[in-house]
């Protein structure tokens, strides 16, 4: 039976394995190493790990949401920096259940919005729309810094 609970620091190694596989594929094509994923996960969850969620089946971690509390103009908001489900467990509503649980917990804390970034070319984009998320006018901007020679 699926269990959703707060994430623990000891789960981060399993989260790293899921990220390595999930974000290697298009459209992401990210080139994480295990060490760098772990560094990123520790950074994003530092001091707030209990806000993040783990989905477990038979005590094995199969999905997670990394969440930060962000003080904003009139209220605090939740920012989901990563949501991922193990490849073999996708399309079984686990991602949806993680979002439903997150929303339930957020409402209890008086949080007024859940924010995240999604790649418009990914399956996740329509998944988020189905789950009630709307694209805003804000876009992610990047300046790539090449070498000068
Ligand atoms: C995006 C992601 C988190 C979604 O999690 P998931 O558990 O696969 O999602 P769900 O099963 O709740 O829903 C996924 C889709 O399957 C469909 N689905 C799920 N169960 C279904 C069922 N029993 N029958 C028919 N359709 C079903 C949903 O309607 C949804 O459709 P969509 O792809 O058109 O949106 C997951 O695919 C993932 O980890 N992707 C790689 C990493 C990623 O992109 N993360 C988000 C960026 S941070």
Is the CB of 92 within 6 Å of ligand 1? Answer: yes
Is the CB of 83 within 6 Å of ligand 1? Answer: yes
Q: How many domains does the chain have?
A: 1
CA of 15 to the centre of ligand 1 (A): 17
Is the CB of 21 within 6 Å of ligand 1? Answer: no
CATH code of the domain in which 85 resides? 3.40.630.30
Domain annotation covers residue 70:
yes
Using 50, 70 and 90 to split pLDDT, how confident is the model at 135?
Answer: very high
Residue 66 has pLDDT above 80, yes or no: yes
Residue 99 has pLDDT above 80, yes or no: yes
Domain annotation covers residue 138:
no
Kindly report the average pLDDT of the chain as a whole number. 96
| Cis amide prior to 109 (ω within 30 degrees) | no
Domain annotation covers residue 140:
no
Average pLDDT over residues 95-108: 98
Domain annotation covers residue 142:
no
Measured from the Cα of 127, ligand 1's closest atom is 35
DSSP state of 134: -
Average pLDDT over residues 25-33: 95
Domain annotation covers residue 65:
yes
Residue 147 has pLDDT above 80, yes or no: no
Q: Which domain holds residue 22?
A: 2-130
CA of 120 to the centre of ligand 1 (A): 15
- pLDDT at position 142, please? 96
Domain annotation covers residue 144:
no
Q: What percent of the chain has pLDDT over 70?
A: 99
| Cis amide prior to 17 (ω within 30 degrees) | no
Measured from the Cα of 22, ligand 1's closest atom is 41
- pLDDT at position 67, please? 98
Tokens encoding 74? 């009139």
Query: Count of CB atoms within 10 A of residue 143's CB?
Result: 4
> Which residues, in sequence order, are bridge partners of residue 54?
5, 64
DSSP 52-82: SEEEEETTEEEEEEEEEEEE-SSSEEEEEEE
Domain annotation covers residue 79:
yes
Q: What is the largest CA-CA distance in the chain?
A: 57
- Report which protein residue has its CA nearest ligand 1's atom 44: 124
Domain annotation covers residue 135:
no
Is the CB of 19 within 6 Å of ligand 1? Answer: no
- pLDDT at position 149, please? 61
Q: What percent of the chain has pLDDT over 90?
A: 97
Is the CB of 115 within 6 Å of ligand 1? Answer: no
């Amino acid at each position: 039976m699926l269990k959703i609970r707060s994430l623990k620091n000891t789960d981060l190694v399993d989260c790293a394995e899921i990220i390595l596989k999930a974000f290697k594929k298009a459209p992401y094509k990210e080139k994480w190493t295990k060490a760098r994923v772990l560094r990123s996960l520790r950074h994003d969850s530092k001091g707030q790990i209990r806000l993040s969620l783990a989905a477990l089946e038979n005590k094995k971690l199969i999905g997670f949401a990394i969440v930060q509390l962000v003080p904003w103009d009139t209220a605090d908001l939740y920012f989901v920096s990563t949501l991922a489900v193990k490849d073999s467990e996708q399309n079984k509503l686990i991602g949806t259940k993680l979002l439903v649980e997150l929303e339930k917990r957020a409402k209890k804390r008086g949080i007024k919005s859940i924010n995240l970034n999604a790649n418009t070319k990914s399956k996740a984009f329509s998944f988020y729309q189905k789950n009630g998320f709307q694209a805003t006018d804000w876009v992610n901007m990047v300046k790539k810094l090449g070498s000068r020679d």
